[in-house]
Structure 1
Amino acid sequence: MVIATLGEVVADYRLRMALAPARVAAMAGITEAQYLGLEHGTAWPGSAAVQAVIDALKIPHTRRLHFQPADSPLDRSLSQILHGYDIPALIVDSEWRTVEANCYAQRLLPGSSTPGWSLPRWILHSPEARERLANWHQAAGCVADLVREELAAGLDNLELRELDRASRPYASDSAPHAADSACHLLRWRTDTGPHPATACLISVPTGRPDLRQVTLIPRGTQPGHPLLDAKRSQPWDGPLLVDLLNCGVCGLLLTGGGAPATYHCATGCLPDFPVAALDFRVAQEVVPRVFGPDECRQLAVAQESLTADGFDMSLNVPVTPKHALDQWTRSMTDTQRRGILTSAVRSITVYGAVDCRDWRRSALRYAWRDLL
């Protein structure tokens, strides 16, 4: 068992001590930007810095035992999520070197399954990248902006400095912006037709602020797209909220299973939660956030364009938030439901009601992802 979100634990102990982020950073001997990156789960300042923060906040040793150490292998649930995607995705470390890649990433980028392979290094140095990327100069510029953003956030290592030097000729004149550098297009050369594109989305896996997930999302449905003929991945099979729920008392991930199926804390801090009931309670919060009125209108326009291109959608897009929740209940597969949850939520912290073992009175705190 591991802490679901290290940043939440650090923030909790900082608030208990009534300390400002700048004060904790000074006590730990790091910059405020490095500390905030750790607390918000957006950057990993290094194992030594994390240890200094833990010591400064006097986090008990009983809690430290459950921290997921940097550079440890992916746990089973995170690996299952990675290989459950039906688009290319890979997990990289703080130096942007591959930790694990799913079958779609391996098909699109054959070298990506090799430990130590680096997407930024491939873009900057590989002749293959110049041949395959129709917008290679733009991609190299995105690498430059991304590296500058990481260095500005306090993440510093030899690989990033080398990438910074190599990418500097392609950097934009203005300072990078997170919204721009976190999602950009790669246009792939094919033998026929327009160049198909993928949007490169960078996120932080739940509970592993030392890692990054790189997801390549197809844009367009032209024949010959390098992603559309890939082998289908295995559908999601299991409780929907596995690895998203953590106990607000002890910080451990809640496990799911059994008969009847429940989510429960291994240390017994909380009452058991019926899987179906808690899944729907969470859906009532998540689905309207993902499928708001504006999003539904945009999806309807996108569906018309895809239909005109001859792309057959297995599920019509919802027209209202209420319709989306109805589809969640009646039409969606667990794989679709799981995809919605993981795209919207980093983690959900569960707090039990005082002196009450009734799960219905427990409070939920959501750590939301930024929706593009």
Structure 2
Amino acid sequence: MRADLVPAADDFPAVLRVHRRSAGRSQLQTALLAGISQRHLSFLESGRARPGRGVVLALSAALGLCLSRQNQLLLAAGFAPLYQPDAKPAPEPDLVGRAMQAFLHAHEPFPALLLRDGAWIEQGNRGAARLWSAVRGEPLREVPRDNVFELMLRPGARRERLENWSEAAACLLRRYMAEHAQLRRPELDELVAQLAANPEVKQLLQNDPAAQAAPVVLLRYRFDAVRLALFVVIASLHAPLDTRVEHLRVEFLVPADAATEQWFRDGAAVG
């Protein structure tokens, strides 16, 4: 969306219309899901009616808005945000953090990463450090807290040893845009644009992904005499109620063949 078309933060009708259209829902579909009449929704979008707090929350649920966008819609309607992280440490986020770490450890000896906002690496397990070490050609005790878009754009061993770099980059962009279509990350705009401008990536983005025969995109690494094939499984929290944990993701890199599986098992046995 162009900057000049972004509605003002306190313009509830405009903010509501943007979210509904971004969700691909008609007024009738949205109204049915929210439990209100289409006429009432039409009045809300035209500014002829003002919503109650319960209606705003019902519309947020009907449109599948993330917590940050639900807060935005509440503020636009004149209500205090509901999902505002407490400044004091809370036991629930600590519990979530421990659970995420348990997922990383449970996936050993295979790589697993904890990501924030689908872009920033918060943590990796030993399997991920082993993969990073092999790709870089130097031993690493842990996975650097990098930005995945910067990693994809950075020249060097990681890019050169990822045989299907353009395919992996296009997959990353598609997933990022699907997850963050309603929540713009200005700090990533330049990196996303650079990646999308690559001619090979641009061509893949314009292709219909449904026309591809393979069920998943494999990450195909090659270094020395070793070839690895991995696919990604993503886990996220169901019904998060805290903005601090809403955008945490665990990415499990799963061996796609026996040779890749054995390489990680052998490395874990040695290390």
- Could you state the TM-score of these two structures normalised by the residue count of structure 1? 0.42
Structure 1 residue aligned with 2:15: none
Is 1:113–2:143 an aligned residue pair?
A: yes
Counterpart selection for 2:102 from 80, 102, 115: 80
Assess, with a 3 A threshold, how the Cα gap between structure 1 residues 34 and 210 changes in structure 2: closer, same or farther.
farther
Distance in structure 2 (CA, Å) of the matches to 1:59 and 1:181: 47
- String of CA shifts for 1:25-66, please: whole Å, max 9, x gaps: 97699xx8997444xxxxx46x3x34245677x8997x997x
Is 1:51–2:75 an aligned residue pair?
A: no
- String of CA shifts for 1:47-105, please: whole Å, max 9, x gaps: 3x34245677x8997x997xx99xx6652223222222122111111151012211111
Assess, with a 3 A threshold, how the Cα gap between structure 1 residues 189 and 84 changes in structure 2: closer, same or farther.
same
Distance in structure 2 (CA, Å) of the matches to 1:223 and 1:217: 9
Structure 2 residue aligned with 1:135: 164
Question: What does residue range 220-259 of structure 1 map to in structure 2 within 5 Å?
Answer: 220-222=257-259, 226-231=263-268
Alpha carbons 2:34, 2:62 under 8 Å: kept: no
Structure 2 residue aligned with 1:147: 176
Assess, with a 3 A threshold, how the Cα gap between structure 1 residues 95 and 221 changes in structure 2: closer, same or farther.
closer
Secondary structure of residue in 1 paired with 2:264:
coil
Structure 2 residue aligned with 1:158: 186
The amino acid of 1:154's aligned partner reads Q
Structure 2 residue aligned with 1:185: 218
Q: More helix by proportion, 1 or 2?
A: 2
The amino acid of 2:114's aligned partner reads I
Question: What does residue range 201-220 of structure 1 map to in structure 2 within 5 Å?
Answer: 201-206=233-238, 207=240, 208-220=245-257
Assess, with a 3 A threshold, how the Cα gap between structure 1 residues 181 and 158 changes in structure 2: closer, same or farther.
farther
Structure 2 residue aligned with 1:100: 123
Assess, with a 3 A threshold, how the Cα gap between structure 1 residues 98 and 35 changes in structure 2: closer, same or farther.
farther
Structure 1 residue aligned with 2:113: 90
Give the superposition deviation at 1:204.
1.8
Distance in structure 2 (CA, Å) of the matches to 1:120 and 1:127: 14
Q: Identity, % of aligned pairs?
A: 24
In structure 1, the gaps of 5 or more residues are 1-13, 39-43, 233-372
Give the superposition deviation at 1:199.
0.5
Distance in structure 1 (CA, Å) of the matches to 2:152 and 2:166: 9
Distance in structure 2 (CA, Å) of the matches to 1:223 and 1:35: 43
Distance in structure 1 (CA, Å) of the matches to 2:261 and 2:248: 32
Give the superposition deviation at 1:15.
10
Alpha carbons 1:34, 1:155 under 8 Å: kept: no
Distance in structure 2 (CA, Å) of the matches to 1:16 and 1:134: 45
Give the superposition deviation at 1:216.
0.7
Assess, with a 3 A threshold, how the Cα gap between structure 1 residues 181 and 15 changes in structure 2: closer, same or farther.
farther
Alpha carbons 1:185, 1:198 under 8 Å: kept: yes
The amino acid of 2:224's aligned partner reads D
Secondary structure of residue in 2 paired with 1:140:
helix
Total equivalences in the alignment: 201
The amino acid of 1:185's aligned partner reads L
Distance in structure 2 (CA, Å) of the matches to 1:60 and 1:78: 27
- Could you state the TM-score of these two structures normalised by the residue count of structure 2? 0.56
Q: Which has the higher contact order (CA 8 A, sep 6+)?
A: 2
Give the superposition deviation at 1:189.
0.5
Assess, with a 3 A threshold, how the Cα gap between structure 1 residues 77 and 214 changes in structure 2: closer, same or farther.
closer
Alpha carbons 1:143, 1:167 under 8 Å: kept: no
Secondary structure of residue in 2 paired with 1:165:
helix
Alpha carbons 2:236, 2:250 under 8 Å: kept: yes
Deviation beyond 4 Å, 4+ runs, structure 1 = 14-17, 25-29, 32-35, 53-56, 58-61, 179-183, 223-226
Distance in structure 1 (CA, Å) of the matches to 2:224 and 2:184: 40
Secondary structure of residue in 2 paired with 1:228:
helix
Is 1:174–2:194 an aligned residue pair?
A: no
Give the superposition deviation at 1:131.
2.5
Alpha carbons 1:132, 1:188 under 8 Å: kept: yes
Distance in structure 1 (CA, Å) of the matches to 2:252 and 2:236: 11
Structure 1 residue aligned with 2:229: 197
